[in-house]
């Protein structure tokens, strides 16, 4: 038993699964389950994430358990690294359970080239990616779309860009949900959200978002890696971003609307940020339509960035290398989706959690159906990232979900006290990692020591049977906002 | 009095204090300005803000979210409040700043653990912003 005030009620269910019983608090409807080993649990207990998880367990319609992945950390309302499924039609949807960065996610591209073959062109390639992909401040630099064109993107997602000649069709097919959530309602997206999205398509933004050039350092499962198209030594590009200002505004608008509606539905919530409404209610349907539209914007955003990355590759390595650069997959880790689990239809909120469907799932692209869904777990700056594949345990234990990253272990303030951005930049460059980041302050907040050990996080999800390791990738260069 | 960034496991928590309720809003702007500041000295400008709402804590969140949008859409880097008036049904303010390249760190102000209340002679506020 881990001794801590916030973990005093924990029961150990198995090696890597812990439970806080529903009876631990008078207002919780279901237990909380936490995937972690003892070391990660100590880190998790260091912030308010378990209390936030218990808050999620109070929500009307929540079924089975509020679930925490091993990368869980304190967020706002919902913890980051949390999964909660609500019974439909009347269980609630909570915009805070998706987060402000709707459909923040990760896309992996594999180049037909090894790091050895790249050789001394590495710096030039990272530099060209930083020139081609707008990152950081402001709304400019992305594709300029008219209001009508933007609405097509909100409705059709990444496919709308293919129709404009941006990126290949195959990328869309190798994207979660085919790069488009159904039910998108551009009309439920406010004028302000439209304004914030205009000009941001194809931009990375700031915070922990990045484009990273990587090398496949180790393959754990050669047969699955072969299906994904990955071999040791190969170059890859990992893109991490979401729906930018458009998604942020959609969340802001609908949290406010649901905060106002909560009293009407008689909800008593432990945190206002958990504002919610029945999924079947006018507020619930309106949000789900707007969320799907923002999610489609995010799919299109990563699609446009992938196109810009290919242009950078063409400029440095030639058109042949660019045209043979293949998308492995694209996954969302901030989203709510209607899915069937254990014979019932539920609305699965994944906030900082990734869908991880196993082999046999009809929701996967045909080429991956025999092995399972690719899952990408970015490490912190300077550390490894992982390609995983979904396992059957995810359907049995976590509503088809797994972790999404390393997860913070230290506040941003503490990180800035321990290192300056300039020093971190020097350390990364000393490791041979090319860094393109205009903000040294932002860099310090993302220091590797501010995060949990990603190796341990993926080991836990593997031991839990949620997903297993396919490949380990190490950074060669990073472009950040 | 003023603002302070508190320890938070993932986001940025701002605690605010002032002798008056309006002063908390001024302190919130100063905190946001510290997060959004750039290294440029662009063209000086002012922005007028008018918000509607009678829930003052929510109004504090709306105020910060308005600054997020001004930074993103108008590249407005706030520096100081020229005037700020809390009304029964909203807020009116004039903010001085400059056009520049605001740090886009803050995505939104949230309602999580939101607080705005008076204790003795001091007003206290707390807002968690998503970064």
Residues 6+ apart with CB under 8 A from B119: none
CA distance A287 to A348: 15
* pLDDT for the residue numbered A280: 97
* Cβ–Cβ gap B69/A192 under 8 Å: yes
In angstroms, the Cα distances linking B37 to A88, A400, B23, B42 are 45, 42, 20, 11
Point out the residue among B73, B75, B113 whose CB comes nearest to the CB of A271.
B113
Give the Cα separation of A90 and A143 in Å (integer). Answer: 39
Phi-psi region of A144 (alpha: psi -120 to 50; beta: other; left: phi over 0): beta
Q: How far apart are CA B70 and CA A91, in angstroms?
A: 36
Helices (H), A63-221: 115-118, 122-132, 147-156, 158-163, 169-173, 191-197
Q: Provide, as residue numbers in chain B, all residues whose Cβ is less than 8 Å from the Cβ of A245.
A: 72
Distance of CA A11 to the CA centre of its chain: 29
Catalytic residue among A209, A333, A349, A404: A404
**Across the interface, which of A48, A206, A245 has its CB nearest the CB of B9?**
A48
Structural domain contains residue A307:
yes
What's the token pair of residue A202?
């194809």
What is d(CA B38, CA B42) in angstroms, rounded to the nearest whole number?
10
Q: Are A174 and A317 in contact (CB under 8 A)?
A: no
Does residue A338 lie in a domain region?
yes
Domain total in chain A: 1
Contact by Cβ (8 Å): B6, B16: no
- For residue A345, give every residue at least 6 positions away whose Cβ sits within 8 Å of its Cβ, in sequence order, or none: A88, A338, A339
Q: How far is CA A230 from the centre of its chain?
A: 21
Decide if A441 and B114 are in contact by the 8 Å CB cutoff. Answer: no
What sections of B1-131 are H helices per DSSP?
A: 21-36, 56-74
Nearest to A438 by CA among B104, B43, B106, B34: B104
For residues B21-58, b (16+ Cβ closer than 10 Å) or e, as one string? bbbbbbbbbbbbbebbbbeeeeeebebebebebeebbb
Can you give the C-alpha Rg of chain B in angstroms?
A: 14
The two structure tokens encoding residue A407? 């997860």
Contact B108 A207 (CB under 8 A): no
**Residue A376 distance to chain B (closest CA, Å):** 21
Question: Which strand (E) or helix (H) includes residue B78?
Answer: strand B76-87
B10 at the A interface (CB within 8 A)?
yes
Chain B residue with CA closest to A196: the answer is B73
Edge to edge, what strands does the sheet with B76-87 contain? B44-52, B90-99, B76-87
Lookup: tokens for A406: 């390393």
Calpha distance A46→A127 (Å, rounded): 39
User: What pLDDT is attached to residue B38?
Assistant: 83
Of A75, A245, A251, the CB nearest to B11: A75
What is the C-alpha separation between A430 and A281, in angstroms, rounded?
55
Q: Which residue has the tokens 């060669």?
A: A476
Q: Shortest CA distance to B11 belongs to which of A166, A273, A424, A118?
A: A273
Cβ of A321: how many Cβ atoms within 10 Å? 18
| A429 part of a folded domain | no
Asked, for residue A430, whether it belongs to a domain, the answer is: no
Instruction: Catalogue the E-assigned strands of A157-233.
Output: 210-219
State the smallest CA–CA distance between residue A152 and chain B in angstroms.
Answer: 22
Which chain B residues are closer than 8 Å to A104 by Cβ?
none
**Residue that has been written with the tokens 């446009």 in this structure:** A304
For an interface test with A, the pick among B66, B110, B113, B116 (most A C-beta atoms closer than 10 Å) comes out as: B110
Choose the mutation target among A71, A94, A99, A137 for the interface with B, i.e. most B CBs under 10 Å. Answer: A137
Supply the range of the domain harboring residue B116. Answer: 2-130
Report the distance separating Cα A301 and Cα A311, nearest Å. Answer: 15
Q: CATH number of the domain at B73, please.
A: 3.55.10.10
Q: Which of A310, A182, A177, A172 is nearest to A235 (CA)?
A: A310
Query: Which CATH number do you get for residue A61?
Result: 3.90.1860.10
Residues in chain A: 481
Q: Which of A73, A207, A255 sits opposite B9 (nearest CB)?
A: A73
Domain that holds residue A89: 5-409+451-480
Cα B49 to its chain centre, rounded Å, is: 12
Average pLDDT value over all residues in chain B: 95
B105 touches chain A (CB under 8 A): yes
Any A CB within 8 A of B39 CB? no
Tell me, yes or no, if B52 comes closer than 8 A to chain A by beta carbon. no
Enumerate the residues of chain B whose CB falls inside 8 A of the CB of residue A259.
58, 111
Active site (annotated) includes residue A404: yes
HSE at residue A392, side-chain half, CA atoms within 13 A, is 2
Closest of A33, A39, A10, A2 to residue A455, by C-alpha: A39
Give the span between the Cα atoms of A304 and A132, in whole angstroms: 11
Separation of CA A316 from chain center: 29
Q: How far away is chain B from the Cα of A410, in angstroms, using its nearest Cα?
A: 6
Distances (CA, A) of A92 to A95, A341, A344: 10, 17, 15
Contact A357, A373 (CB under 8 A): yes
The structural domain count of chain B equals 1
Claim: this prediction has a pTM higher than 0.90: yes
Paired tokens of B43 = 């063209």
Q: Which residues of A fall below an 8 Å CB-CB distance to B?
A: 46-49, 73-77, 80, 96, 99-101, 136-139, 192, 195-196, 205-207, 245, 248-249, 251-252, 255-256, 259, 271-273, 275, 408, 411-414, 439, 441-442, 481
Kindly give the confidence (pLDDT) of every residue in chain A, 481 residues in length, as a single tens digit, with 9 standing for 90 and above.
Answer: 333 445 678 999 999 999 999 999 999 999 999 999 999 999 999 999 999 999 999 999 999 999 999 999 999 999 999 999 999 999 999 999 999 999 999 999 999 999 999 999 999 999 999 999 988 755 467 888 999 999 999 999 999 999 999 999 999 999 999 999 999 999 999 999 999 999 999 999 888 899 999 999 999 999 999 999 999 999 999 999 999 999 999 999 999 999 999 889 999 999 999 999 999 999 999 999 999 999 999 999 999 999 999 999 999 999 999 999 999 999 999 999 999 999 999 999 999 999 999 999 999 999 999 999 999 999 988 899 999 999 999 999 999 999 999 988 888 888 888 999 889 999 999 999 999 987 777 788 888 898 999 999 999 999 999 999 999 999 999 998 7
Among residues A419, A405, A418, the alpha carbon closest in space to that of A75 is found at A405
Q: Each residue of B45-70: pLDDT tens digit? A: 999 999 999 999 999 999 999 999 99
Token couple for A174: 């190798």
For chain B, which ranges sit under pLDDT 50? none
């Amino acid at each position: 038993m881990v001794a801590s005030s916030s973990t005093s009620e924990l029961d150990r269910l198995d090696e890597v699964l812990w439970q806080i019983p529903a009876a631990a608090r008078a207002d919780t409807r279901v237990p909380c389950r936490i995937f972690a080993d003892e070391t990660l649990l100590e880190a998790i207990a260091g912030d308010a994430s378990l209390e936030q998880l218990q808050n999620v367990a109070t929500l009307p319609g929540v079924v089975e358990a509020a679930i925490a992945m091993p990368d869980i950390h304190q967020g706002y309302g919902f913890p980051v690294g949390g999964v909660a499924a609500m019974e439909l039609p009347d269980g609630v949807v909570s915009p805070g359970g998706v987060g402000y960065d709707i459909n923040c996610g990760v896309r992996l591209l594999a180049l037909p080239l090894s790091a050895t073959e790249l050789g001394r062109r590495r710096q030039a390639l990272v530099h060209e990616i930083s020139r081609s992909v707008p990152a950081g401040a402001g709304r400019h630099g992305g594709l300029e779309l008219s209001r009508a064109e933007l609405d097509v993107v909100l409705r059709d997602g990444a496919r709308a860009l293919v129709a404009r000649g941006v990126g290949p069709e195959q990328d869309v097919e190798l994207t979660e949900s085919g790069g488009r959530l159904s039910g998108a309602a551009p009309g439920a997206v406010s004028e302000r959200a439209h304004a914030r999205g205009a000009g941001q398509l194809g931009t990375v933004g700031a915070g922990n978002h990045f484009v990273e050039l990587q090398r496949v350092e180790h393959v754990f499962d050669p047969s699955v890696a072969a299906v994904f198209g990955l071999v040791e030594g190969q170059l890859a590009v990992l893109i991490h971003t979401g729906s930018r200002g458009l998604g942020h505004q959609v969340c802001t608008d609908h949290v406010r609307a649901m905060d106002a509606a909560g009293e009407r539905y008689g909800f008593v919530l432990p945190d206002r940020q958990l504002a919610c409404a029945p999924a079947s209610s006018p507020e619930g349907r309106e949000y789900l339509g707007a969320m799907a539209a923002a999610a489609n914007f995010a799919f299109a955003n990563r699609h446009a960035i992938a196109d810009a990355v290919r242009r950078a590759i063409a400029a440095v390595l030639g058109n042949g290398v660019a045209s043979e650069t293949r998308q492995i997959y694209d996954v969302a880790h901030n989203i709510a989706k209607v899915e069937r689990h254990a014979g019932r239809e539920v609305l699965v909120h994944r906030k900082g959690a990734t869908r991880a469907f196993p082999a046999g799932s009809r929701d996967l692209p045909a080429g991956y159906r025999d092995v399972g869904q690719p899952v990408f777990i970015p490490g912190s700056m300077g550390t490894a990232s992982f390609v995983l594949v979904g396992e059957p345990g995810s359907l049995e234990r976590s509503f088809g979900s797994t972790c999404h990253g390393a997860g913070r272990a230290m506040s941003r303030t503490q990180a800035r006290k321990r290192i300056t951005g300039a020093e971190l930049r020097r350390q990364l460059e000393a490791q041979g990692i090319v860094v393109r980041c205009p903000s040294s302050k932002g860099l310090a907040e993302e220091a590797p020591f501010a995060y949990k050990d990603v190796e341990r996080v993926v080991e836990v999800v593997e031991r839990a049977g949620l997903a297993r390791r396919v490949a380990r990738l190490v950074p060669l260069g990073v472009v950040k906002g | 009095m003023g603002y302070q960034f508190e320890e938070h496991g993932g986001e940025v928590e701002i605690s605010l204090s002032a002798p008056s309720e309006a002063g908390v809003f001024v302190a919130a702007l100063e905190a946001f300005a510290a997060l959004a500041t750039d290294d440029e000295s662009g063209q000086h400008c002012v922005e007028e803000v008018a918000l509607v709402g009678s829930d003052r804590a929510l109004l504090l969140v709306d105020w910060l979210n308005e600054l997020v949008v001004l930074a993103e859409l108008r590249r407005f880097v706030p520096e100081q409040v020229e005037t700020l008036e809390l009304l029964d049904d909203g807020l009116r303010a004039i903010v001085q700043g400059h056009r520049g390249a605001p740090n886009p760190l803050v995505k939104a102000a949230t309602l999580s653990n939101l607080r705005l209340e008076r204790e003795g002679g001091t007003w206290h506020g707390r807002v968690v912003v998503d970064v």
